[in-house]
Amino acid sequence: MAAAAATADGVDSDERGSDIGATSEYSRIYAAHRAFCSLVPTPRVVELIKEGLAGDVGDPPVTAGDDAGDDDAGPAWLSVEAQDAVLRALLDAPPCNKYPPPAEYTARLAKRYATEIERCNMEFSDRLLEALAKSGSMGTGVLAPRVDDDDDNDGAGDSADDEGDGGDGDGDGDDLGVAALPPDTGYASFFVADDPARAVSVRLIMETRFQALGMRLWGATFTLSEWAVANAERCLAGHDVVELGSGVGLAGLIMARHCAGVRSITMTDYLDDVVLNILHNARQNGGAGDARVDAEVLDWKDVPDDEDDDDAGPANWPPFLRRATVLVGSDLVYDEGATRLLVAALAALLATPAEAAPGAAGAG
């Protein structure tokens, strides 16, 4: 996939995204843009659009027509001009112009917005119609599903080639050993600082064949990320950090980008595909900061000594685990069977002194 998609009017989205952040329309829909980037439920995104373009939700509607008697009069936030402004602000501004949300999420938002437009008997903008058709959204009466004469797909599956996969430029799933990524693949982006240029974007793959538990976001990830940013100087600066059960790597990448002084971040998970996805996310975020960033497969059963397994125990730990001075993790256990393994692994890790990292004055 290309890093930037060509939009309906033929303008490269990277080119347009470079200056859209300075426009008044973007500033008015900034809260909706942030919510859209981070995959907030679509009803809330639509409410934020309305608040940005029409004042408080409780305000009376303002007319969009040239005069009060215009048949097309209705809420101004649903006018053709507003629709185009919304699409520009949500889709063309960084980071979504390069790291688009999953096509199915975007289609749900477009359909919800279209429902509001149709309910008020207002005109659809050409770009919104094209976005709905491209996503395969069925619409609410005036819209038809996309029909592609030379492809049996419903349109959503084309997102890997049409919308950009975060800068790889190849449009496929080679990094995960598949020919093409599933249609529910996309990015979630989070603004830790109030600056889209410093957002952290992570690829999510919800399809079960990609071990979905490690390819989606879990609530405690945000708590860990917020804690890390708030306590970086006191708890993380100067340390080699290992994150257990990293999933898509959001918390680790936020630590690397927004926690000054961290020496290294190694994100770990149990499955190869999950770790490959973390490495992809680290590449897309440019390593995310000054810290050394890596991702490794880690099976908790190999951490403690095991008389029946010659490869287990501290003597066989990889260098990143022997150097670790801080362990972090969130939402680590999904079923009871893994609890025993986690407790044993933590006991072994906490009981074993860390080795000094090369060039470090010492390890805490």
Helices in 137-218 by DSSP H: which ranges? 159-162
Q: CA-CA distance, 241 to 252, in Å (whole number)?
A: 9
Q: In this structure, what token pair is assigned to residue 173? A: 């799933």
Whole-angstrom Cα distance, residue 154 to residue 66?
39
Both tokens of 258, joined, read 């927004």
| Measured CA distances, 111 to 50, 128, 135, 175 (Å) | 15, 10, 10, 32
pLDDT of residue 57: 38
- Spans of the chain, pLDDT less than 70: 1-25, 55-74, 135-180, 206-212, 287-289, 307-308, 356-364
**pLDDT for position 330:** 95
Instruction: Write down the pLDDT at residue 138.
Output: 39
Please tell me the predicted confidence (pLDDT) of residue 197: 76
Are 36 and 90 contacting, i.e. CB atoms less than 8 angstroms apart?
Answer: yes
Provide the pLDDT for residue 164. 36
pLDDT attached to residue 352: 86
Q: Is 7 exposed, middle or buried (0-12, 13-18, 19+ CB in 10 A)?
A: buried
Q: Residue written as tokens 């399809």? A: 207
What backbone torsions phi and psi does residue 327 show, to the nearest 5 degrees? -110, 135
pTM: 0.76
Contact 122, 142 (CB under 8 A): no
pLDDT computed for residue 150 by the predictor = 37
**pLDDT score recorded for residue 2:** 26
CA distance 84 to 350: 55
pLDDT at site 355: 78
